[in-house]
Amino acid sequence: MKYPKAVIDTKALKHNIEIIRHLAPNSKICAIVKANAYGHGLIDVARSLLKHVEGVGVARIAEAERLRDAGFNNEIILLEGFLGAAELLKLNELKLTTAVHCYEQVELIEKYASSLNNLKVWLKFNTGMNRLGLDADETKEIKNRLERLDCVKEVNLMTHFANADDRTSNYTEEQIAKFNELNQDMFLNRSISASSGILFFPQTRAEWIRPGVIMYGISPTYEPVVNFGFIPVMNFETILSNVFKLKAGCRIANSNQVFSQDMYIGVIALGTSDGYPSQAPEGTPFLVNGRKVSLVGKVNVDTIYVNLGPELKDKMGDKVIVFGKSLPVEEVAKHINVITYELTTKLTTQTKHEYIIN
Work out the number of other CB atoms within 10 angstroms of the CB of residue 39: 25
Instruction: Verify whether residue 34 is a known catalytic residue.
Output: yes
DSSP letters spanning 189-242: -EE---HHHHHH-GGG--SEE---GGGGT--SSSS-GGGGT----EEEEEEEEE
Burial class (CB in 10 A: 0-12, 13-18, 19+), 231: middle
- Could you say which of 34, 120, 153, 298 is catalytic? 34
Direct distance between the N- and C-terminal alpha carbons of the chain, in angstroms, rounded to an integer: 23
Number of H helices and E strands in the chain, helices first, is 11, 16
Q: How far apart are CA 328 and CA 226, in angstroms?
A: 10
Work out the number of other CB atoms within 10 angstroms of the CB of residue 107: 11
Phi, psi of 308 (to 5 degrees): -95, -5
148 assigned ligand-binding residue? no
Known binding site for substrate: residues? 131
Active-site residues, by number, are 34
Residues placed in the known binding site: 131
